[in-house]
Amino acid sequence: MAYLSRLDDHELAREFEWVAPDGKRYRWNVEGVLTQTFGHAFYHRGQIAQLVAGLGGKAVDTDYLFWAKPTPVSPPPS
């Protein structure tokens, strides 16, 4: 949380390098890596739902909000 709260345009544009498991080197900016990290699971849950439906099954709700179980609240009094 401390790192994310310090992000500014300069830090988001900062590029860094890493070595992947296959030994290849890559370079990307912080914003791109954070975007990939944030959205990666959504992509795969969509793939799974599509495969299940394509095989004739009934896909379940894969929304994070469904599984995170937010706390329900009563509506404010009128």
Res. 7: pLDDT tops 90? yes
Spatial distance between the Cα atoms of 72 and 59, rounded to a whole number of angstroms: 25
- The one-letter code for the residue type at 73 is V
**What residue spans define the domains of the chain?**
2-68
Share of the chain above pLDDT 70, in %: 100
The model's pLDDT over 21-32, given as tens digits with 9 standing for 90+, comes to 999 999 999 999
Res. 52: pLDDT tops 90? yes
User: Torsions phi, psi of 55, nearest 5?
Assistant: -95, 10
pTM, two decimals, is 0.60
The model's pLDDT over 62-77, given as tens digits with 9 standing for 90+, comes to 777 777 787 888 988 8
